Structure formats: C-alpha cells, structure tokens
Structure 1
C-alpha cells in the first residue's frame, strides 16, 4: 500500500498497452508491476466467476469498482453487482448515476439521493462503501448539483462518499463547448462557478473542504485539450478530450504535440488532496486509482501504452505523497522546536 491509509489501484480498462489482454494477463501485469495494490473493476457481466478466480489466483483484490446506473431501471442491479464485488474482496463501489431517469426526464436531486441511500443500505450489509462520482454523461456533470445532493444525503444521517475524478472538471476550463455540454457556461463566464484549481473559490476546493473524498481517480487532461482523434466517439465525432498523456508519448504514438505544463493542473489537484488528507485526522480518503483507459472519449486507439502511463502516474503518486508527508513532518518538528 502507498501507506497504511491508501490502497492504490489501476483501472481495468488501462491494464493493456494498446490492445485488450486476456484476463489472467491483466492480473499478472498488475501484480508484477510492483506499484499497485489492487485491480479497479467489478467482476464484469458474464465473467463474474472468472474475475473472482483470477483475483484469488494472483492474490490481487478488486478493491474498487464502478458501474453506470439509471434511476428507475437499475435498482435491483445494485445488489447483484455488490454481491459479486464482495466475493472479489471489494471495499468500495462507485455509483455513476446517469443524467436521465428511465422515464426520460433529468433525474432530480431527490431521486439521486434515494438511489444513493438504497445502494448505501445494500453496501452496509456487505461491508462495501458506496460512493458517487463527478463524471461526464452523469447527473454530476453539472457540478452545481453535487454539493446540494451531498447535503441532502448527510441530512439523512448517511455520509456522502465522493469520488473525485478531477479530469471531468479540468477538461472544461477554457472550453465553451464542454461547458455547454453540462449547462454551466453562463455561470463560468460570470464567475459564479470557478473551475480553475489555482483560483480561489474553485469548485474542486469546495468538494475537498467538505472532507468527503474517499477515492481519488487520477487521469490527466488538458484545459481545452485536444480531442481523441484516434477513435470516433458519440454522435460520429472524435472522442472528447478526457485524457492527456502523463508522460511524453514516443514518436508516432499520438496525434498531438505533448506539453509537460498541460499535466500540471492535474498534479496540483492531487497535491491539494494529499495536503488535506495529511492535515485532517478524520479524512475519509482511502483509495486512489490511475485511470488512463481505452474508451473513445479517453485513449481508445492511441499508440502509446496505457499501462506504462498508469505505472508512471502510480510512481509519481507514491513519490509525491512521501514528499508532502516529509515536508509536513519537518514543519511540525520546526514549530514544536
């Protein structure tokens, strides 16, 4: 583990170089890397038993995992997914709650709250923490909805466990098209909603300050970055700009010029989360994952190794935590002296 608090995992869609590998090869690759503690995925439909058997064979738990749910359709699916996740030694399950209800309307905050509470009850019975994520195509893509939902959950006496995937915020900086996708452009342009993690009063700081981040997902994006021109995405267009290489791709491995500074906003958010955790005795942060993945809006079809990128992020996360922890310890020692 990265320390006694954190388990560091790799998203299952990133356990490949450029093409999907057999399941056992994925587990072997992760185990042999020496930088990860767990596999981030729930046992997949139709392969539930194979995932559990591979997890046991290689001694790699599926500690975290997620699934996309639609309110009004998938209430019963929660128990099925969590029961299999428990067999694979899962500790946290992330709800990605779609923007639209099965009846077609945009889900209300109250409908999201009830879905979360129902999942929380099932998770409690199986020893699995339920969480919810900020993500494109989900109700939470409108970032203004997250704090009100969190407050309503907490008002019911239940913790709102938040998964911070800062990539879905950072890609909207300087991108009117992306801001329009979630209806936030007017608030961003007026200053009512601040996306820049370096600016005071930004929405990521708002979430961190609520001390609700249980899981940090790390995948760099670039503000107003390039679309994924290696794969067609939704609507017959190039994939969205939800992934930017953490380290420089090799010659011919990517369609765009790589700039190191474009990764810095991602790194700054990680540092903020680490500093908060180190300074907050009751911080709930327990899981981190690297999330360079293969879908069209991310890194599908690219020529660089997704797994090598994930390993580079994992190594940076470990080194950065040690640097921050050491610096904080030195400051504490100096203040006592």
Structure 2
C-alpha cells in the first residue's frame, strides 16, 4: 500500500484571507508546520520561476495542482498546464471543467469524456496523472453525472481518476436552495439521491466503492450553510456556503454562530475514505489535501487564520489515519488469533 501524501492548498498558506505572504514565505510556513508532505499549487502565470525557487529552497515539492477549463476554448491551455506540472516536479493535475462549452451550450456526458481523453492521453505522454473533480459550477455539480461519466470513460478504455471534494456534495445537504441549482431536490426528497454520509447508499459511499479516487480534497463544510456573509462575487452575488471553520473562531473572526457538531458529516466522509484506503490493498488513493482557502464561496472576508485552521485539520487527518490503522491492525491480530490452532499439550 502506498503511503498517503498530505498537502496544503497554496491558497490556505495565509493568515488573513486576501493578503497572502510572499511565495517564499508560503512555502516556509507549510514546511515549518511539520505536518505536510507537499505544496498543492500549480505555479501561477508569470511566477513560475519564483515557485520553483521556493519549492527547492524549502525542500517542499509541488506534487499536485489544478486549473479551471472551458471546453472549446482551453484545450491548448490544458496541454500547457500538464507540461508545466511535469516541469515543476508535479505528479498530478486536477481538472475542473465548466459545465458550459465556449459556445454556451451545456456539455453532454460524451463531451466531458472527450475532454477527459484529451487530458488523460496528454498525461500519459508526460508521466502525469490527471483527475476530474466534483465541484460547484462544473459539469459535476450535478453529482448524479459522476458515475455515468466514469462508466463512459471506462468503456472508452481508460481508468476514471477522480478528485473527491465532499464539500461540494455536503453544501447541498439540508439546503433546498443548493439542491435547486442542479434540479436535485426531487431526487433528494424521494430518496433516489442520498447526500447524507451517515445514511446507507449515499452518493459518497457509492463513489468510494468504485475505488476511483486518486485525490481527496478535505474542506470543512456545514450542511445548510451559513453562506459567506462577508464576501461576494464581482456581480454582487453573496458567497456560497462551501467552507466552515474547523475550530471554534475567536470573537469577531466569524460572521455566524459556530457549532462543532456541524463538522461531523465532513469528518465522517474523511473517516470513510481513509478506512476504505486502509482496508483495500489495491486502493488508488494517493493524495489528501487540506482545502481551507479564500475566494468568495469559501473563506474570503473571514478573520480567522486560514493557515492555522489548515494545520489543525492536517493534524486531525494524521491522527485519524493513525487511529484507523491501529483499529485495523487490532482486528487483524484478533482474526489471526481466532483462527490459530491450539498448541499441543
């Protein structure tokens, strides 16, 4: 079983959202924390050399990174970024593919598969894994499409490499408004689609059972909100509820009441993902990242330290993996003892 690698999203390497320190300081912070294996960030345009210098100086590789793409416009950019991943010492490039084509029409499953093939074949040529993510605003915001696309990818002779970001599923739990974004409400209310990770046959469990997750992005989120009251998009839309503080905020750091129990769905998904990895010698999971970030739908405008919460979350992930590993080892020892033949008198 390959060791899980834990990374910090580069947008989380800052204390005050919207005021990131220098690139060198971001790498120093992540390395100095002592809990991360890598820096999760594709070198940003015009700053490639600075990212590479900081990565080398602090002995902290950039193993993963992501970008957003529009089919019909960004195919050349996709190929460029996959090569940039390779040139930066990376191993995996995540693709967030918008739901609409450049000409405005919604992407069909077959068009998503075609973009996946372009990325997968480019990755194969350069030695880079690619992943497709479940994410708001993307083709996969309608979570019902994920397994359909995965099947089509496999039928086309390729493995489906998935980035599981449960925050974009749990944002719709207890939120009819969020369910209506992709017309999910009827399926949720009828029980055809189960979002609650504590219920049998929920959508995340179905994905985990497919053993298609290469990368698990861990962002704390609270079912039912609250929306980000302190940030908005350029068009005036209030930020969505994709991020919740991992620790109790200090007075004045958060715009809403905070309850520890609201983190339990997030923690349950992480436990399930890690347990499935530990129990399956053929697990494909390789990367886990903390995703406490800025941007309007996340932590923009918040007054708590994104990095402080990222480090706390990373320690919790490490501790949880260790606890699950110990539980598995105890089960194995008990099973061995139960089947051992008694010693001769």
Matched, 1:171 2:181: no
- Counterparts of 1:91-240 in structure 2 under 5 Å? 91-233=91-233, 235-240=235-240
Aligned to 1:283: 283
- Partner residue in 2 for 1:41: 41
- 8 Å contact kept, 1:233–1:240: no
Query: CA deviation digits over 1:232-278, x for unaligned, max 9?
Result: 13641321000001111111111111100000100000010111111
Matched with 2:342 is: none
Inter-partner Cα distance in structure 2 for 1:45 and 1:283: 34
Distance, in Å, in 2 between the alignment partners of 1:276 and 1:50 is: 38
Question: Does the 8 Å contact 1:55/1:88 carry over to 2?
Answer: no
Q: How far 1:53 moved relative to its partner?
A: 2.1
Q: Give distance in 2, aligned partners of 1:182 and 1:234.
A: 22
Following TM superposition, where does structure 1 have runs of at least 4 consecutive aligned residues deviating by more than 6 angstroms?
none
State the Cα deviation string for residues 85-133 of structure 1 (Å, max 9, x = none).
1122111111100010011000011111011111111111111101000
Contact 1:41–1:65 (Cα < 8 Å) also in 2: yes
Instruction: Give CA deviations for 1:51-85 in whole Å, capped at 9, x if unaligned.
Output: 12221222111101110011111111112111111
Aligned counterpart, 1:24: 24
In 1, Cα distance between the equivalents of 2:287 and 2:321? 13
Between the aligned partners of 2:272 and 2:167, the Cα distance in structure 1 is 14
Corresponding residue number in structure 2 for 1:298 = 298
Quick check: which has more Rg, 1 or 2?
Answer: 2
Would the aligned equivalents of 2:2 and 2:286 in 1 still touch at CA under 8 Å?
A: no
1:12 aligned to which of 10, 13, 23: 10
3-state SS, counterpart of residue 270 of structure 2: helix
8 Å Cα contact 2:10-2:41 kept in structure 1: yes
Q: RMSD over aligned Cα, in angstroms?
A: 1.1
CA distance in 1, matches of 2:250, 2:303: 9
SS in 2 for 1:9: strand
Alignment of 1:320 with 2:332, yes or no, is: no
Specify every segment of 5 or more residues in structure 2 that has no aligned partner in the other structure, as ranges.
Answer: 338-345
| Cα distance between partner residues in 2 of 1:295 and 1:326 | 38
Match of 1:8, SS state, is strand
- Asked if structure 2 preserves the Cα contact closer than 8 Å seen for 1:52 and 1:87, the reply is no
Cα deviation digits, residues 164-188 of structure 1 (max 9, x gap): 0000111111101100112211111
Q: CA deviation at 1:189?
A: 1.2
**What residue number does 2:59 align with?**
59
Deviates more, 1:48-57 or 1:146-155: 48-57
Aligned residue in 1 for 2:340: none
Match of 2:341 in 1: none
Distance 1:216 1:332 in 2: 26
Name the CA distance, whole Å, in 2 between partners of 1:100 and 1:65: 22
Superposition deviation, residue 49 in structure 1? 2.0
* TM-score, reference length from structure 2: 0.95
